[in-house]
Amino acid sequence: MRLILILFLTTGIMACQQQSDTAADTSSPLVVTNTGAAGPKLYIFDCGRMRLVSVEAFNLKETDTDVRELSAPCYVVDHPKGQLLWDAGLPSEFAQTDGPVTREDGMTNWLEETLASQVARMDLGFDMGSLEYVAFSHIHWDHVGASNDVTSGTWLVQQGDYDAAHADGNLSVPAVQPHLLVSIKERPTQVLNGDYDVFGDGTVQLIAAEGHTPGHQVLLVDLAETGPVVLSGDLYHFQFSRANRVVPLFNVDAERTLQSMDKIEALVTMTGADFWLQHDASLFDSQQKAPRFYQ
Ligand SMILES: [Zn+2]
């Protein structure tokens, strides 16, 4: 069954990085019919695991959830017009250690194999040197960890995260590790100011959802068999947070986060999309991983 996806959101307003101005908004809804045969495939990769000592920073009481282990997936959308890498997991250097990497705050991290190694080993018809686009839900360290291994593609980044990535010291945005952004800042870049239809056919869309960081976004992928899927970025870290609309303490803008939650939940309702909470390790464990894919 084919899906007709009605986009109630404005189509993306894209500006090249040299441009500071934005084009006029398009107010009429875009109706997209996914014609099937050559639709995108969605691959999921294991890009690490984190174990928390506490959920306090997420504005939760320790009794609100017993979840302490978070997944950190990477995804590749394989579209007939090229591949989009969505999120890049934990830092690649973590794969060089025998055991887990423990941070000062007690958080423990594991990365078994780098994304680059996985992609090369699986022979999927693409690799880190053949991507068309690279996008991160946001620039926190646990979502850009393999970015220095990316040697291809145009970086699609919302203005807020672009500015934060280029700011000296990144003092206004916590959890940013500048050394992980060195290479991506050298890539060709499209700075976005809102939602953006990546391949122009409505099947793969970046949806602006600021608040966790200044340029946080989620990804909407319309799959011919699976149906529409929203990859959540860090709109939420826990199912409890989603159910109770809880904003983490380290988000840069709490009010904006709540607006983004409302926007994305409305999108999920309207499209009937599956909501993939990326840090939900239980969900991640239940999903099929590359070289298998969703289509
Ligand atoms: Zn995260």
Q: Of 236, 81, 66, which Cα lies nearest the Cα of 153?
A: 81
- Spacing, Cα 90 to ligand 1 middle (Å): 9
What pLDDT digit, counting tens, does each position of 250-284 carry?
Answer: 999 999 999 999 999 999 999 999 999 999 999 99
β partners of residue 83: 78
H/E stretch holding 286 reads helix 281-286
Say how many Å lie between the CA of residue 105 and the centre of ligand 1.
Answer: 16
Q: Which residue has the tokens 């409505």?
A: 202
In the chain the domains, ranked by start, together with CATH numbers, are 4-13+40-285 (3.60.15.10)
- Residue 37, pLDDT > 70, answer no
> Which amino acid makes up residue 223?
L
Lowest mean pLDDT among 125-139, 159-173, 207-221: 159-173
Distance 73 CA to ligand 1 centre (A): 10
Q: What is the pLDDT of residues 95-109, one digit of tens each?
A: 998 889 998 889 999
If you measure from the C-alpha of residue 243 to the centroid of ligand 1, how many angstroms do you get, rounded to a whole number?
18
Ligand 1 centroid to Cα of residue 280, in Å, is: 10
Do residues 87 and 268 lie in contact, with contact meaning Cβ atoms separated by under 8 Å?
no
Whole-prediction pTM: 0.88
Centre of ligand 1 from the C-alpha of residue 154, in Å:
22
Distance 124 CA to ligand 1 centre (A): 26
Which of the four pLDDT bands, split at 50, 70 and 90, describes residue 168?
confident
What does pLDDT average to over the chain?
Answer: 89
For the segment 18-31, what is each residue's pLDDT rounded down to a tens digit?
333 333 333 333 43
pLDDT at 15 over 70: no
Q: Helices then strands (H, E): number in the chain? A: 5, 16
Over the stretch 207-255, which tens digit does the pLDDT of each residue have?
A: 999 999 999 999 999 999 999 999 999 999 999 999 999 999 999 999 9
Distance 232 CA to ligand 1 centre (A): 10
* SS3 category, 159: helix
Centre of ligand 1 from the C-alpha of residue 27, in Å: 32
Spacing, Cα 142 to ligand 1 middle (Å): 5
Predicted local confidence at residue 6, as pLDDT: 41
Given a cut of 80, is residue 78 above it in pLDDT? yes
In this prediction, residue 169 has a pLDDT band, given cuts at 50, 70 and 90, of low
**How confident is the model at residue 200, as a pLDDT?**
97
86 vs 219: CA distance, rounded Å: 8
How much is the average pLDDT of 121-132?
97
Q: How far is the CA of 44 from the centre of ligand 1 (A)?
A: 16
The pLDDT of 120-128, averaged and rounded, is 96
Q: Stretch 160-178: mean pLDDT, rounded?
A: 86
